[in-house]
Amino acid sequence: MARTRAADYDDKRQAILDRSASVFAEHGVDRASMAQVATYCGVSKALLYHYYDSKEELLVDIIRSHLEELDAALAAVDDPALPPERRLRLLIGQVLESYRDADHHHKVQIDGMKTLPSDKADELKALERSIVGRVSAVLLEVNPNLDASRPLLKPVTMSLFGMLNWVFMWFRPEGGLTREEYADLATTLILEGVRAVK
């Protein structure tokens, strides 16, 4: 007879994901062990292995859930009927809002992807492409010349994500700039730059 799931299975799994992200971010993906994760989560190794068969499976789930949440959050605010400048501002703001309280998850995504076998990494890269593609399409609306004679759309899009993806390294809420203000600043920088690209 198959073992039934506890009523709080999903809640416990989510708690393990969140706490594991902290362990991987603080100790490094390569150095963190399942024993450390179990200790930090306050569970036995046996219980941890009930939820995840391996460290790799846990790592993939941390990254997948982080990317799926970001992709869904962007889809929720994206309105193709809006002017592209306003649409871009909403997307940038949502990326930064989604990164709030997700620094460890984001660091695990950046550091952990390169440690995964290609089949697992490819699945996660497809999610990344969905996120990047949504923003890229709006940048192309702002300046259709980005994809004309020279392929500039990708460098511009990745420059924007470079600005956003490393916010966790320097941003501090008490630093005098809110996330909303930084979203405005990043939008202005990218829009002014995009309009100037020939």
Residue pLDDT, tens place only, 49-79? 989 999 999 999 999 999 999 999 999 999 9
pLDDT reported for residue 89:
96
Q: With bands split at pLDDT 50, 70 and 90, how would you rate the model's confidence at 152?
A: confident
Burial of 1 (0-12, 13-18, 19+ CB in 10 A): exposed
Distance from first CA to last CA of the chain, Å, rounded? 66
Statement: the pTM of the whole predicted model exceeds 0.85? yes
Domain 56-196 CATH assignment equals 1.10.10.10: no
Residue pLDDT, tens place only, 30-46? 999 999 999 999 999 99
What are the angstrom distances between the C-alpha of 37 and each of 45, 133, 167? 8, 34, 26
Identify whether the C-beta of residue 153 lies closer than 8 Å to the C-beta of residue 139.
Answer: yes
Q: With bands split at pLDDT 50, 70 and 90, how would you rate the model's confidence at 149?
A: low
